[in-house]
């Protein structure tokens, strides 16, 4: 999406009579009770609960539940705010493969691209102004997949309309904005689902269960490594043709490279993943942070080294680079890493989410190694939006709630402040 500009008259486009074809992908759930935690049909093929019950407890925040009624039509009506690369690669296919979701409307600034995306995916109503969409279309949920700088205002508008909201990462650029969104959702009794696919991996969920279940005792140290191949994105290079990676269009050149739109580079685009995951599996939150950052030849940070202290007293580190085996296609490098080592008073845990590996060791007992994940389970990009639908129907726990988007924003924003001033800062 383009950055926010002064408002102008919205363009409303209707595409009547077009039928949307539904994916035939399996909707079998990941069975977290199996020895491997692996879905035989793959996590990307429908992260859904097998229950067809229309009302059940859906967790809104740790320790709290709220009864969520069924949608009047039996389907969750979703509006898209932003429909660029990632929305067309992950969110739209994820919704189309869910039997109880319908994409009711889409908003995008460019009239030509708006018309193209609506026609291609059979979306009946389209707007150039998301505010107009929210004001005129009956919706149950919204997806915010704009540039980073627009996340806050778009998510706030959707929450104020009483909608459940999925927000692309990072949740916001500034911590006070994220705090406001979490408070708005709690007041309205609505869900914020963050787009963190790693939370939905079998080994990610198993790691959380082991740590929160006390298997390694009190957490003392968290060491995280996130190395990704996003140099071309952060540099703003034109991406090559790749129908599989970019089924509708590649990322815009400024989306991740312009500091005014992104709020930063590797920190905002990638560190948000390991930060949110570390706090989610431990149930902790950051209180202070120290960071070093290097831009290389970019306008934004490419390499980050972060140390932080948690509310529990545990300490942690995150090392991250966006230049893991530089190529000109996203995700093609074999040098990528997403690893977490967690040390506690009774044992340790090692999870490699890039390769689907998990080991838990309790001191004085044999090491327990989980069966490796299947390739389909390594990055279930459809899972967050399918979880949004299930939470709107009251059928599932929110596995990537707004609280952890907030904690990630606090850490990342603090890291930028620390790198700029050369001191430890409170967050």
Q: How many residues does the chain have?
A: 427
Who's near 420: CB < 8 A, 6+ residues apart? none
390 in any annotated domain: no
Pair 251, 209: CB distance under 8 Å: no
pLDDT at residue 332 above 90? no
- Least-confidence region, from 47-61, 154-168, 373-387: 47-61
Which residues are 66's β-sheet partners?
58
First to last CA, the chain: 30
Query: What is the residue range of 155's domain?
Result: 12-198+395-401
Other beta carbons less than 10 A from residue 9's beta carbon: 8
pLDDT at 334: 54
**Is residue 41 located within the same domain as residue 111?**
yes
Q: Does 419 fall in a domain?
A: yes
Residues 80 and 173 in one domain: yes
For residue 241, what pLDDT is reported?
Answer: 76
Q: pTM for this one?
A: 0.84
Same domain, 348 and 276: yes
Query: Domain check: are 293 and 249 in the same one?
Result: yes
What's the sign of the alpha-carbon dihedral 183, 186, 191, 197?
positive
Residue 158 sits in the same domain as residue 234: no
The pLDDT assigned to 324 comes to 85
Same domain, 186 and 210: no
Range list of H helices, 231-368: 231-235, 259-262, 266, 272-282
Give per-residue pLDDT as tens, 306-321: 999 999 999 999 999 9
Scan for tokens 């806050």, then name that residue: 152
Looking at residue 138, the DSSP 8-state letter turns out to be -
> Does residue 7 fall inside a structural domain?
no
d(Cα 181, Cα 159) in Å, to the nearest integer? 8
6, part of any domain: no
In the structure encoding, which two tokens stand for residue 285, read together? 């939150």
d(CA 169, CA 174): 13
Number of domains in the chain: 2
From 8-12, 146-150, 181-185, the region with the lowest mean pLDDT: 8-12
| 231 and 325 inside one domain | yes
Mean of pLDDT values over 370-390: 97
Which pairs with CB-CB distance under 8 Å and at least 24 residues apart come from 250-258? Answer: 250/85, 251/84, 251/85, 251/86, 252/2, 252/84, 252/85, 255/1, 255/84, 255/85, 255/147, 256/230, 256/300, 257/233, 257/298, 257/299, 257/300, 258/299
Asked if residue 318 and residue 245 are part of one domain, the reply reads yes
- 384: in domain: no
More confident residue, 250 or 155: 155
Residues 156 and 296 in one domain: no
177 and 207 assigned to the same domain:
no
282 vs 255: which has the higher pLDDT: 282
Percentage above 70 pLDDT, the chain: 80
User: Does 383 fall in a domain?
Assistant: no
Clarify whether residues 286 and 170 are in a common domain: no
Same domain flag for 256 and 329: yes
393 secondary structure, DSSP code: T
Residue 15: pLDDT over 70 = no
DSSP string for 2-29: PPP----PPPEEE-TTPPPPPP----PP
| Cβ atoms of 195 and 381 closer than 8 Å | no
Q: Is residue 138 part of a domain?
A: yes
CATH of the domain at 267: 3.30.360.10
CATH of the domain at 63: 3.40.50.720
Q: Cα(347)–Cα(218) distance, rounded to whole angstroms? A: 9
CA dihedral sign of residues 145, 147, 149, 153: negative
CA angle 64, 351, 45 (to 5 degrees): 70
């Amino acid at each position: 999406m383009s950055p926010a500009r002064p408002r102008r008259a919205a363009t409303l486009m209707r595409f009547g009579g077009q039928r949307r074809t539904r994916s035939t992908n399996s909707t079998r759930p990941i069975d977290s009770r199996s020895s491997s935690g692996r879905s035989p049909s793959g996590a990307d093929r429908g992260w859904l609960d097998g229950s067809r019950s229309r009302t059940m407890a859906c967790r809104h925040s740790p320790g709290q539940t709220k009864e969520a009624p069924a949608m009047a039509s039996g389907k969750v009506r979703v509006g898209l705010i932003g429909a660029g690369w990632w929305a067309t690669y992950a969110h739209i296919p994820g919704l189309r493969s869910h039997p109880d979701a319908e994409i009711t409307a889409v908003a995008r600034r460019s009239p030509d691209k708006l018309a193209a995306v609506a026609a291609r995916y059979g979306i009946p109503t389209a707007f150039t102004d998301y505010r107009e969409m929210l004001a005129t279309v009956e919706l149950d949920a919204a997806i915010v997949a704009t540039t980073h700088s627009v996340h806050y205002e778009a998510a706030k508008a959707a929450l104020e309309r009483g909608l459940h909201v999925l927000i692309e990462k990072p949740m916001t650029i500034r911590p006070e904005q994220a705090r406001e969104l979490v408070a708005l959702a709690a007041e309205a009794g609505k869900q914020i689902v963050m787009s963190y696919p790693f939370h939905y991996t079998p080994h990610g969920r198993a790691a959380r269960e082991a740590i929160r279940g006390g298997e390694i005792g009190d957490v003392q140290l968290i060491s995280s490594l996130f190395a990704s191949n996003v140099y071309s994105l952060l540099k703003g290079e034109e991406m090559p043709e790749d129908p599989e990676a970019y089924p509708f269009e590649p990322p815009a050149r400024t989306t991740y490279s312009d500091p005014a739109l992104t709020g930063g580079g590797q920190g905002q685009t990638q560190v948000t993943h390991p930060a949110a995951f570390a706090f989610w599996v431990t149930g902790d939150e950051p209180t202070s942070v120290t960071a070093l950052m290097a831009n290389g030849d970019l306008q934004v940070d490419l390499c980050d080294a972060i140390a932080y202290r948690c509310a529990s007293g545990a300490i942690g580190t995150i090392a991250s680079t966006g230049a893991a085996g530089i190529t000109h296609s996203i995700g093609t490098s074999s040098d990528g890493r997403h690893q977490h080592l967690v040390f506690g008073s009774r044992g340790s845990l090692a999870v490699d989410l890039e390769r689907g590996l998990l080991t838990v060791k309790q001191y004085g007992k044999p090491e327990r190694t989980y069966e490796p994940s299947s390739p389909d389970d390594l990055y279930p990009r459809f899972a967050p939006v399918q979880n949004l639908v299930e939470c709107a129907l009251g059928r599932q726990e929110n596995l990537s709630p707004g609280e952890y988007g907030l904690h990630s924003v606090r850490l990342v924003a603090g890291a930028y402040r620390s790198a700029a001033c050369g001191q430890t800062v409170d967050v």
